[in-house]
Structure formats: structure tokens, C-alpha cells
Amino acid sequence: MGLSHPHPDELQMATVLHALSDPQRLRIVRILAGDPAPRRCGSFDLDITKSTLTHHFRILREAGLIDQREEGTARLNSLRRGDLDRRFPGLLDAVLAGAPGPVAASV
Amino acid sequence: MGLSHPHPDELQMATVLHALSDPQRLRIVRILAGDPAPRRCGSFDLDITKSTLTHHFRILREAGLIDQREEGTARLNSLRRGDLDRRFPGLLDAVLAGAPGPVAASV
DNA sequence: TCGATAGTACGACGAGCATCGTACCACAAA
DNA sequence: TTTGTGGTACGATGCTCGTCGTACTATCGA
């Protein structure tokens, strides 16, 4: 069975914001936004174990932020940009534009 | 001593998103955004106790979302719209524009 | 068939959170 | 001075979260 993804109309602002409020997940979303090509879960360089990765990807998927498609033994992740932009216009852009750290990001 | 507020340059995206990811706090922010006049903590009609309210206001203040100014026995809250907009352009607008619930918000 | 690779499932642990109740403080009005 | 009001402080409780390790499944390639 295909992983359950929330319908675009069911996305909750609070849930989306919560999914984005973790630094690791924020990083994942940034990476996905930086390159439109779907990515394998393992292709994100995040100093955490595989099980923790799986956990974060599930949170992102269940919040409606990413789409996970099974492809052989891998799982391809992509941002649900269209759905997000339709439901919460400007939100993703604002989050992605936000400086990753303290204002020193301009270094 | 005056309540400690984070400097505009120190606002963290993840912290701000976390502060906004609670339904009660989201409601508080919406109310503050709907009326520019500073509001007393007690003037929000949120079915929670006083101590819980205090807790939420502290989270919002420490994340840099609101400004709390002491005025006699009361505490006046206002949105730090300018600081937020400068640091994370478009974020607040996108969050406030977001439907409060499932898409039925268009009722 | 054997081994490597990609990822999940489950259980555990420590930390933090949302909530409450009670006690308390500061100020204002009677 | 007494009473009421607006809010904090502190402790408790139950839940969720982020993280890990180990065990497992499924697929692909040699």
C-alpha cells in the first residue's frame, strides 16, 4: 500500500509549522527546495541515525510537506510545493528565505 | 527589571515556528494581529487557566514574537511585527493568512 | 544464492511541553 | 486597611518528542 499522504485540503497550519520547527527537518526541507529532483532518504547529510531519519521523514510526510514515492528499495522524497503554495500562499517561500541561523547567515 | 526580549538579530526561524505551532498561541497571535492596540493577557478568550496563559505568553515573548510591557498591574502585549517582517519577510503574513482550520474556513 | 543496500518497526530513554492547582505579589479602589 | 484584580512562581502530571540501538524486510547485483 502506498504511504498515506494528507489531502491538500486537510493540511493544518499548526501541524505544518510544527513539522518545520525542528532544525533537522528544516534542513531537509531546505535541501529539497534547493533541487527539484526527488531525493533518497539517505542522501541528506544529517548527523543522525537511520531510524531518526525515518522518524523525521514520517513527520514531514504526515504534515503534508513532502511526498514519498516508493521506488524499488528506495524512497524518493520531494517537496509538495504546489499543494503548500495553494493552501498557504507564501509560507514556504518565507520559511525558505529565512536565515538558517542567527543573522550572521550573511557571512 | 524589564522582561527580557530577544534582539531582532537573534530571532531563530525554528524557535519562531515552534512558538507558532501551538493552536492556542496561534490564536493569540491572530488576535494581536487583528487589532494593533496592545492587549492585556486576560483579554484573550481562550478556555485555559491563568497559569497556562502565562506560560504561552512567555514562549511567545522568548521566541521574539510579542513584546510585553508592564503597565501598572497589567502586562500589555503587542506583536513585534516590524522586527519579524524585517528578519523573516512575509512569514507572519503567510501564517496569518493561513486558514485557521481545515479548508472549510471559506464558510 | 549470497551479500550489500535502503529503509522500517519496535522498544527504550531523557527532555521538554501543555495543562492544572495552589500560593503568592503588586497595585488600585472602596 | 481590606478586598478585588492582573498576573507570576512553583510543583505535579501525563503526554509527546528527538534520539538511539537492534532487529527486521525488501530489493538489487554479482
Mind listing the pLDDT tens digit for each residue in B39-66?
999 999 899 999 999 999 999 999 999 9
What is the model's pLDDT at position B104?
A: 41
What percent of chain B has a predicted confidence (pLDDT) above 90? 80
What is the model's pLDDT at position A46?
A: 93
Between B79 and B3, the higher pLDDT residue = B79
- Considering the entire predicted model, what is its pTM? 0.91
pLDDT digits (tens, 9 = 90+) for A93-106: 999 998 665 444 33
| Of B5, B19, B88, B90, residue with least CA distance to A99 | B88
B61 contact to strand D (CB, 7 A limit)? no
Pick from B17, B87, B89: which is nearest to A17 by CB? B17
B33 contact to strand D (CB, 7 A limit)? no
pLDDT digits (tens, 9 = 90+) for A6-15: 999 999 999 9
Q: Which three cell numbers stand for residue B101?
A: 482550520
Distance A25 CA to D11 C1' (A): 34
Which nucleotide lies closest to B52 by the C1' atom and the CA atom?
Answer: C19
The footprint of strand C (CB < 7 Å) covers A 40-43, 50-51, 53-54, 57-58, 68, 73-75; B 18, 21-22, 24, 47-52, 55-56, 59, 72-73
Write the DSSP symbol of residue B78. Answer: E
For the residues A32-57, what does the mean pLDDT come to?
95
